[in-house]
Amino acid sequence: MKNSQGFDYDLLVVGAGSAGLSAAKRAAKGGLKVAIAEQEKIGGTCANRGCVPKKLMVYAADIAKEQAMAAGYGWVNSQGLFDWSVLKQAMQQHIAGINQSLRSQLEATGATYLNGRASFVDQHQLQIGDRRVSAAHIVLAVGAHPTRLNGPGMEHAITSRQMFMLEALPKRIAIIGGGYIGVEFGSLLNWLDCEVTLIEKDSQILTGFDSDIRCAVQSALTERGIRFFGETQAESLEKTPQGLQLKLNDQSEPLQADCVLMALGRQPNLDGLNLEQAGIETESGAIAVDDYGRTSQAHIFAVGDCTHCNQPLTPVARAEGEAVAQTLLGQATAIACDYITSAVFARPEAATVGLTEAAARETLGADMQVHCKSFEPLRYSLSQQSGEGLIKLIVNQQSSQVVGLHLVGDHAADIVQSVAVAIRHGITLQNLSHTLGIHPTVGEEVLSL
């Protein structure tokens, strides 16, 4: 049945990940006739091969961490055996449940689910599998894929996409890239008895985060035995009977590993979309959009990781999808990108919101004020494990408004996202210091600077 304009649908969303599902469900609930196309599993990267399975692996590693701390608390027989195959099967079952739940939620809105690869025929028509579909408006939410190095033998390396399908965990792993993906995998694999080497072209891990946070996390990881090569680049990879040999630009001998993981960021999934058929412009390998997610074609929008609009985070993608749907429903909604929280689920955990010290220095100049302290949570006092945390507040000295919060330590993500609400609404340093915390907790440290 065609709509009043002669199209099959009012809205066609391409990509059923976090951004696409958010846009499709909101638009369908608002009364639009909606279809969503997906060539892989519903849920996209986050649910199937990203945030969810990786966090489940983090939890598995946390149990190993707790076992290492148990003796200090009187547990004389706390060691257990870890079976990767059992965890892998449990993760797959959990993800299958998420897929089914997402499909049910989508169908409940009345939206149509189309399975197949989509490519533009013209500005309003797309070929999806073996059928052609037309729509008055289109939202591209095709996500991104892991970046790979080009070089001799690099085809023997894997990306995060393959990490969750390994037949067995490696004894020795080399991770190329010290961003949050590489750091998280390195941290959890270290707790699961893998020998981990992190290789980063910068001098420190976690480029883009506050410098003190980067230093605190890196120091903790190296203290746990993770080897780090900074200002280093991988040149070639060779598969031998003894394993993989990774040649590094500043090392005379190749690095020996059972597995090499490329954690070098992500690139938009634009291949095969035939964007030129619709006259959609790109910029630096991503779809160019304005503050409302609109592309160079007024009726076509793009959200999530296939654009350069905001940070590549699941909550951001969902918010972008929601905002575009609101715009299509007649309530023009710009995509807000201030005070976005983010976290690194390493051990120690790190989380951040607002300006780094370097950014605040550029923005505020002499009005920037830094409050920073280290602390040791009570739970580590009876353990040989180190749990030193760090809290850093960036303050506008003139107004006393808190403009940045950076935290390393247990529950950092939960604490920072809670305080972020107050920071977005202009909380001052005095407001924080006059709030009585709960003792003894990590969260009270934020209130006592």
Instruction: Give the pLDDT confidence of 319-375 residue by residue, as tens digits.
Output: 999 999 999 999 988 877 789 999 999 999 999 999 999 999 999 999 999 999 999
At residue 424, does pLDDT exceed 70?
Answer: yes
For residue 408, which amino acid is it? V
Q: 3-state DSSP call for residue 11?
A: strand
16 and 132 part of one domain: yes
Q: CATH no. for residue 209?
A: 3.50.50.60
Q: Is 124 a catalytic residue?
A: no
Considering the domain architecture, whether residues 309 and 402 belong to the same structural domain is answered as: no
Shared-domain flag, residues 259 and 213: yes
Cα–Cα distance, 349 to 54 (Å, whole number): 14
- Which of 441, 412, 439, 435 has the alpha carbon at shortest distance from 422? 435
Q: DSSP secondary structure string, 153-196?
A: TGGG-EEHHHHTT-SS--SEEEEE--SHHHHHHHHHHHHTT-EE
Query: How many other CB atoms sit within 10 Å of the CB of residue 165?
Result: 11
Q: What is the dihedral of CA 358, 396, 213, 183, to 10 degrees?
A: -80
420 near 404, Cβ under 8 Å?
A: no
Is 338 among the domain residues?
A: no
CB contact set of 250 (below 8 Å; sequence gap of 6+): 229, 231, 232
Same domain as 403, residue 314:
no
Percent of the chain at pLDDT exceeding 90: 92
Q: How confident is the model at residue 308 (pLDDT cuts 50, 70, 90)?
A: confident
pLDDT bracket for residue 80 (50, 70, 90): confident
Q: Are residues 307 and 191 in the same domain?
A: no
Other Cβ atoms within 10 Å of 357 Cβ, number: 17
Confidence (pTM): 0.95
Task: DSSP letter for 125, please.
Answer: E
SS3 state of residue 264: coil
Query: What band does 3 get if pLDDT is binned at 50, 70 and 90?
Result: low
**Domain tally, the chain:** 3
Any domain includes 78 = no
- The answer to whether residue 225 sits within a structural domain is yes
- 42 in the same domain as 103: yes
Shared domain check, 252 and 357: no
Contacts of 96 (CB under 8 A, 6+ apart): none
Is residue 172 a part of any domain in this protein? yes
Residue 361 lies in a domain: yes
Confidence grade of residue 448 (pLDDT, cut at 50, 70, 90): confident
Q: Is 317 helix (H, G, I), strand (E, B) or coil?
A: helix
Q: Identity (one letter) of the amino acid at 218? A: Q
Query: Which is higher by pLDDT, 9 or 387?
Result: 9
Long-range pairs of 44-47 with CB within 8 A, sequence gap ≥ 24: 44/15, 44/16, 44/17, 44/18, 44/19, 44/20, 44/143, 45/17, 45/143, 45/144, 45/305, 46/17, 46/18, 46/314, 47/17, 47/18, 47/95, 47/98, 47/99, 47/102
107 and 203: one domain? no
Give residue 5's pLDDT: 77
Cα distance between residue 83 and residue 65, in whole Å: 16
State residue 92 phi and psi, 5-degree precision.
Answer: -65, -40
**Residue 117, domain member (yes or no):** yes
Asked whether the predicted pLDDT for residue 180 surpasses 60, the reply is: yes
Is the pLDDT assigned to residue 1 strictly greater than 70?
Answer: no
Residue range 264-281, pLDDT digits in tens? 999 999 999 999 999 999
Task: Report residue 387's pLDDT band, with 50, 70 and 90 as the boundaries.
Answer: confident
Does 404 share its domain with 385? Answer: yes
> Same structural domain for residues 136 and 272?
yes
User: What is the three-class DSSP state of 114?
Assistant: strand
- For 422, list phi and psi in degrees, rounded to 5: -70, -40
Residues in the chain: 449
Same-domain pairing of 246 and 364: no
272 within a domain of the structure (yes/no): yes
Q: What order of strands is seen across the sheet that includes strand 401-408?
A: 342-344, 350-354, 401-408, 389-396, 368-375
Residue 381 lies in a domain: yes
Mean pLDDT of the chain: 95
Could you tell me the two tokens for 163? 């990490």
**pLDDT of the residue at 338:** 81
pLDDT of residue 2: 60
Determine the Cα–Cα distance for residues 279 and 254; give it in Å rounded to an integer.
47
Which one is catalytic: 156, 411, 425, 439?
A: 439
Q: Are residues 170 and 94 in the same domain?
A: no
Give the residue numbers spanning the domain of 20: 9-58+83-144+267-328
Question: If you average pLDDT over residues 152-171, what whole number do you get?
Answer: 96
- Asked if 393 and 427 touch (Cβ cutoff 8 Å), the reply is no
Other CB atoms within 10 A of residue 195 CB: 17
What average pLDDT does this structure show over 252-259?
95
Contact 344, 350 (CB under 8 A): yes
| pLDDT reading at 310 higher than 80 | no
Which residue type does 197 have? T
Domain-terminating residue out of 234, 249, 264: 264
